[in-house]
Structure 1
Amino acid sequence: MEEHSTIYYDIDGLVLRRGQAFLLSVTFNQDFNADRHYISVIFKCQTWLNSSEVKIPLNNSSNEWSAKRVFTGDGRSNCVCLQINSPSDALIGKYSIFLEICPIERGLLNKRALSIFQFEIDIYFLFNPWQKYDSCGLLSSEQIAEYVMNEHGQIYLGLSDIPRYIPWHFGQFERVVLLTALALLNKVQLSAQQRIDSSVILRILASKICSEYGSTDGIFPSSFDVLPLCQENEYTSSPTILKLYLASNSQSIHGNSGSNWQHAAVFCSLCRSLGIPCRIVTVYNAACQVQERRNTDMNLNRGQQTMVVVNSKITR
């Protein structure tokens, strides 16, 4: 959807940004008088376990959700156009949508004739970096273009004085990336407040990048469960890795446990697919999974406090 900057998502369904209005057109198979019916729109989130449904009466509001009828002027008597507004802290995820219709007879609701219709299309609500009230809102369009919309990038490796880079395809708009992110969230049980906390969602995604020792619930297997002679993979695309993960019934991909930069790239793709701004930063001269020894020479005063760092380097 162009107004929501989700036109690039390659997935069946309607992808929307929370906190932003959208139009929903309902066409009936016969003439329909909306003034003689009590209409409610119902959203049921499929991503989070045991989440409550949201029921919005027409021309009213509920839990900061609202729905009102708008007139398009096309003159069709069997069509009703609704404008739906979601709050800026709505649950992100996949939703089913229903329309509840109850006839009004002599000023009273005829609940015996109540009907509920389910839409065939699913709706996906994502974080909204364009919305200043969203927890992931950004002020700069340049930042949004880089941290949310950019599908291709470079990851810097090598040494600080001799850097090298490799291209990476983040592919956050591909179907497999968004479905993986939502599938990972579906595995956890959280409180209602935690479900709308972007920092909690980040921790969940990060915890599922690599499996714990002895388990296969992460995207990459644990480094302790992989043979040391296993060659390093040559993946340079997040969708390629995540397709293998989903194809194995959400079990760790076969092979080695991947590199730190591959973990970061996949994590970045998952975040961007949900609308969370993210980018990769390379830290050089960090003593992490390196076969070097860090030598640091320091002078201490009588209080055992550092005065001057004389030499700090990594030697092979």
Structure 2
Amino acid sequence: MAETPGTGAAFGGRRALPPNTSNAEENDPPTVELQGGLMPRGFNPQDYLNVTDVHLFKERWDSNKVDHHTDKYDSKKLIVRRGQPFYIQIDFSRPYDPRRDLFRVEYVIGRYPQENKGTYIPVPIVSELQRGKWGAKVITTEDRSVRLSVQPSPDCIVGKFRMYVAVWTPYGVIRTSRNPETDTYILFNPWCEEDAVYLDNDKEREEYVLNDIGVIFYGEFNDIKSRSWSYGQFEEGILDACLYMMDRAKMDLSGRGNPIKVSRVGSAMVNAKDDEGVLVGSWDNVYSYGVPPSAWTGSVDILLEYKSSQTPVRYGQCWVFAGVFNTFLRCLGIPARVVTNYFSAHDNNANLQLDIFLEEDGNVNSKLTKDSVWNYHCWNEAWMTRPDLPVGFGGWQVVDSTPQENSDGMYRCGPASVQAIKHGHVCFQFDAPFVFAEVNSDVIYITAKKDGTHVVKTLDTTHIGKLIVTKQVGADGMKDITDTYKFQEGQEEERLALETALMYGAKKPLSTEGIPKSRSDIHMDFEVERAVLGRDFTVVLTFRNNSPTRYSVTAYLSGNITFYTGVSKGEFKNETFNVTLEPLSFKTEAVWVRAGEYMGQLLEQAFLHFFVTARVNETNDVLAKQKSVVLTIPKISVKGDPAQRHRAVGRGVSALGLRASEADGQHDQ
């Protein structure tokens, strides 16, 4: 059958049209579109081929949903993936004759559809479908019915399309009326090689697209915990909620086929910092008129509440933002996973190092110290090609919806290529310097002297990004992916990556060339015995003298209640002591911490952070160490009717900021 003629650049003519930024808004095309715009005398549309019904085969068991891996969506609409054929049937008023009858299928999205924007798609009837292009092929004809195989292009817009059938007459076009029953959702397709989100591993597709239950890791590097999270991307109403997020962002429909743009908009819209997005963040332990972050156990309640109320939901912290963002990405068809970085740097001045300022007595100068270390931090990775970057930087991309720093005028982060981060190529968009600093910063300890001068005292190159993990494919265990972000600490490649990052435009850091070499060969470390909530415990410091010289050391210990973001709420313990070290010897000092010193200051998602600095008096060498402590909560037994203990997916129960079912506490940094 010959291809049908076009109908112009847009419905309503070629006049300039407003931006098309809403999937929900509609502007229906005319049901009769006559040549010259005038109805000829004696013209009766019923005299020509008319559409009487359209069948989309949209039940869960139909091949359309099964073949497109959309049978899990709780929706009565047809949901398909781009770049892959699906089947429809059109019933006409009389038998279809391909020699004299002309018709085509049209897909429309938004209020101001334009063919050159991809928002009005006239699908030609062709003899053979061509890879990479829209097309419709007649499969069978029977009596008055025609069955078509319709193939979307692999780069078409992702969203909800309205469908029409247009029939040609000698006088113009007759088009079907608006029918919500024929609405069709088109999603990204990780099973299609031509799609930008194509993932060639079936087990990974099962995990990163189709798995609606996940595990998010949290806690502390030496005491890692996990929590289950219900992504619920297939639940009723979630797909519409995800499309609403892009509408709320006023994202142009023409850009919604690009996973780079979609994930970047999503990273901004999951937080409500500057755009009335989904979640309000709160890290101050005040959760009035909202739900504490630790009470959420899934994304469904959050997204449905946001869609229905059209106002931000209260409250979230990093793992909640990451869980909701994962739902958004997987629901639209972008492979995604939640990643946890232990000892995650927050570099405020983009110099790729954390500057910790100390008073001359060893205490931290909180006024000068603007950078912070998060005990752990969760973000997302999304899988996609990066045609905007050199070859080799596609694959996993960091996207982070926790509002930390402003990026191009909004609180968002990414997508940043994981491969580019590993090699220090932070010149490539988006936000690679910030992510690089999160996983590979050096910690610089600087003494702020009373005369106003700053003296760099010591450097720690191994504290940041100690472990980066995600959930295993097909299992609930932890997968170490640290080596995808950074080379092994101490290797030449790791230093080279940092030098490359500095070369590519990061702000110049404070010089570390003047750091004096240790002249005393004194080493210091400390351990915190397993601390149980409500009980006393000790901090044991060990000083080791590896030299043949006798030295004296003055040490300062500070204990703080600190949010998982590294921000101190207040000091609960400080102690100064002197240690004499004989040649080739070691000595331990135990600091007793009483429960009464910290119990009254505990907050949700806060932990105990100890900072120790020591000065070798004979040489002025400065030693510094810091560690975080996760309090262990005794096991809690709950008895009673299981039905009374049930909670709907999305919210849980918290106690003292730590979930009662998680006996060992929780933290996020």
In the alignment, is the contact (CA less than 8 A) between 1:130 and 1:137 conserved in 2?
yes
Counterpart Cα distance in 2 of 1:83 and 1:269: 30
Aligned partner letter, 1:58: I
Q: 1:89 to 1:301 in 2, by over 3 A?
A: closer
List alignment gaps of at least 5 residues for structure 2. Answer: 1-64, 347-371, 376-442, 446-457, 461-509, 519-622, 630-669
Is 1:68 aligned to 2:137, yes or no? yes
Aligned match of 2:278: 219
Percent sequence identity is 25
Q: 1:163 to 1:49 in 2, by over 3 A?
A: farther
Kindly state the Cα deviation for residue 49 of structure 1 after the two structures are TM-superposed: 8.0
Kindly state the Cα deviation for residue 102 of structure 1 after the two structures are TM-superposed: 1.6
Counterpart Cα distance in 2 of 1:306 and 1:173: 59
Kindly state the Cα deviation for residue 196 of structure 1 after the two structures are TM-superposed: 2.7
Is 1:185 aligned to 2:249, yes or no? no
Counterpart Cα distance in 1 of 2:112 and 2:281: 26
In the alignment, is the contact (CA less than 8 A) between 1:100 and 1:117 conserved in 2?
yes
| Aligned ranges 1:1-316 → 2 under 5 Å | 1-46=65-110, 52-59=119-126, 64-71=133-140, 76-103=142-169, 110-112=170-172, 114-118=173-177, 119=179, 120-187=181-248, 188-190=250-252, 192=254, 194-212=255-273, 217-223=276-282, 228=286, 230=288, 232-233=292-293, 234-248=295-309, 250-253=310-313, 255=314, 257-287=315-345, 297-298=458-459, 303-304=513-514, 313-315=626-628
Counterpart Cα distance in 1 of 2:103 and 2:279: 47
TM-score w.r.t. the length of structure 1 is 0.82
Counterpart Cα distance in 2 of 1:128 and 1:276: 8
Structure with bigger strand share is 2
Higher CA-based Rg:
2
Counterpart Cα distance in 1 of 2:75 and 2:100: 37
Counterpart Cα distance in 2 of 1:136 and 1:271: 11
Aligned partner letter, 1:128: N
Q: 1:264 to 1:306 in 2, by over 3 A?
A: farther
Q: 1:191 to 1:9 in 2, by over 3 A?
A: closer
Displacement over 4 Å in runs of 4+:
47-51, 60-63, 287-292, 299-302, 304-308
Q: 1:307 to 1:218 in 2, by over 3 A?
A: farther
Kindly state the Cα deviation for residue 186 of structure 1 after the two structures are TM-superposed: 2.0
Kindly state the Cα deviation for residue 305 of structure 1 after the two structures are TM-superposed: 7.8
In the alignment, is the contact (CA less than 8 A) between 1:168 and 1:236 conserved in 2?
yes
Counterpart Cα distance in 1 of 2:111 and 2:325: 19
Structure with bigger helix share is 1
In the alignment, is the contact (CA less than 8 A) between 2:343 and 2:374 conserved in 1?
no
Aligned residues: 298
Aligned partner letter, 2:166: E
Counterpart Cα distance in 2 of 1:91 and 1:177: 18
Counterpart Cα distance in 2 of 1:11 and 1:86: 20
Aligned partner letter, 2:216: I
Q: 1:65 to 1:149 in 2, by over 3 A?
A: same
Aligned partner letter, 1:204: V
In the alignment, is the contact (CA less than 8 A) between 1:209 and 1:218 conserved in 2?
yes
Kindly state the Cα deviation for residue 94 of structure 1 after the two structures are TM-superposed: 0.5
Counterpart Cα distance in 2 of 1:102 and 1:229: 61
> With CA pairs under 8 Å and 6+ residues apart, which has the higher RCO, 1 or 2?
1
User: SS at 1:264's partner residue?
Assistant: helix
Q: 1:58 to 1:301 in 2, by over 3 A?
A: closer
Counterpart Cα distance in 2 of 1:156 and 1:302: 34
Counterpart Cα distance in 1 of 2:253 and 2:160: 18
Counterpart Cα distance in 1 of 2:199 and 2:72: 20
In the alignment, is the contact (CA less than 8 A) between 1:153 and 1:169 conserved in 2?
yes
Kindly state the Cα deviation for residue 307 of structure 1 after the two structures are TM-superposed: 8.7
List alignment gaps of at least 5 residues for structure 1. Answer: 104-109
Kindly state the Cα deviation for residue 207 of structure 1 after the two structures are TM-superposed: 0.4
1:203-223 deviation line (CA, Å, top 9, x unaligned): 11110111125x6x2111254
Counterpart Cα distance in 2 of 1:304 and 1:121: 71
In the alignment, is the contact (CA less than 8 A) between 1:295 and 1:313 conserved in 2?
no
In the alignment, is the contact (CA less than 8 A) between 1:18 and 1:125 conserved in 2?
yes
Kindly state the Cα deviation for residue 30 of structure 1 after the two structures are TM-superposed: 4.1
1:22-70 deviation line (CA, Å, top 9, x unaligned): 1111123544434321111111023998753011232278992111211
